[in-house]
Amino acid sequence: MVAREALSDRVTRALRRSPIVALIGPRQCGKTTLAKTLLEGRPSTYFDLEDPTAALLMQNPMTALSGLSGLVVIDEAQRCPDLFPVLRVLVDQQDCSASYLILGSASPEHSRQASETLAGRVEIVEMGGFDCGEISRDGARSLWIRGGFPRSFLADSDEDSLAWRRNFVRTFLERDLAQLGFAISPQAMGRFWTMLSHYHAQTWNGNEIASSMGIAPNTARRYLEALEQALMIRRLLPWYVNVGKRLVKTPKIYFRDSGLFHTLQGIGAYGDLLVHPKLGASWEGYVLEQALRIFPREDAYFYAVHSGSELDLYIPTRRLGIEIKRQDAPKVTRSMRIATEDLELDRLLIIYPGERRYTLDARIDVIPESELRTVGE
């Protein structure tokens, strides 16, 4: 069992602030387990809408929820489209003594209704699999190879982990996509998802992918949006600043879970990864996702100039830049200095897989990946 104290604290604080909290994340990332820990030691009611009995009760949500107090958890909330207007009515009542935690897998309908119907009443907390702040440093390599989905990370062997992830991909394509509201052929999405893995950590080239698959560019864009809304893919937007240079304006594409990326690339173990041509891209995507977990409420971008200068991650509210290097001893490059000046950075961090932390410049530090969790302190 891996304790997820920081995430639990975020949800607890959100429940104090807002009458409704939506905990959004991909299937099998641990939402239900986390919610059940929050139920302990307090008056509570739990509805799992995959349970036929609970689903039957929710056919009349006003009747089922009226009069309840304490914490009410509704799992797989996207299965009940009539739920959200009822929640709005209930929390607006003066005598409401319940708070609501709704769990969902980020379906388009769920996200739309949560933002529109419950505007001003709901706080959304996004979660994924395990991150580097939730495991021991000894588990960092397994987290990179296997990804953060609990059953994949905690599997008895790399072989068992890979088998679980293969089954997850198959189930996602054959069942979850339809349940999330996406009318897309499993075969077509499987081809697209696999092809997209070759563009991991690269700028989006929809025309090239569409041409390779024999589909329209708009169709490729729709497939990408489906994977993004299902929290499988991250589309990292470029940062625009008036520096008199030709800036890259196309988003970069990242798999949010390194284990799923490795699965679609046919990488089963650490030794396979070390000799794979996507080693550098895998490392960049893994570290970037871990870095973004440290700043869950911050907007983040990448910065790139067509002439070659670029920065892997930029957090404008902190004037913080992060560059990810899989090198033994990274050094300051001309690209880093240009990005530091263009963006007027207060601090540039270079994340690498070594063991020693050192300073290269007044504003540039090199930090081991094992100390990444200290960045936000």
CATH number at residue 45: 3.40.50.300
pLDDT at 220 over 90: yes
How far apart, in whole angstroms, are the C-alpha atoms of residue 154 and residue 142?
Answer: 9
- What radius of gyration, in Å, describes the C-alpha atoms of the chain? 22
How far apart, in whole angstroms, are the C-alpha atoms of residue 321 and residue 333?
Answer: 14
Listed residues 126, 151, 177: the one ending a domain: 126
Residues of the domain holding 102: 5-126
Residue 113 amino acid letter:
Q
- The predicted model gives 306-334 an average pLDDT of 92
SS3 189: helix
Could you tell me if 22 and 153 lie in one domain? Answer: no
Listed residues 126, 161, 180: the one ending a domain: 126
> What does the DSSP 8-state code read for residue 95?
T
Question: Phi and psi at residue 322, in whole multiples of 5°?
Answer: -130, 125
The whole-model pTM stands at 0.92
What is the structure's pLDDT at 162? 97
pLDDT tier, 377 (very low <50, low <70, confident <90, very high otherwise): low
pLDDT tier, 77 (very low <50, low <70, confident <90, very high otherwise): confident
Residues in the chain: 377
Residue reference for tokens 């009611």: 45
The answer to whether the Cα torsion of 356, 297, 333, 270 is positive or negative is positive
Is 132 a member of any domain?
no
Could you tell me if 63 and 189 lie in one domain? Answer: no
Is 226 a member of any domain?
yes
What is the number of structural domains in the chain? Answer: 2
CA angle 57, 63, 65 (to 5 degrees): 80
SS3 118: coil
What is the structure's pLDDT at 72? 93
More confident residue, 71 or 3: 71
How far apart, in whole angstroms, are the C-alpha atoms of residue 330 and residue 324?
Answer: 10
pLDDT tier, 112 (very low <50, low <70, confident <90, very high otherwise): low
Note whether 95 and 57 are within 8 A (CB).
Answer: no
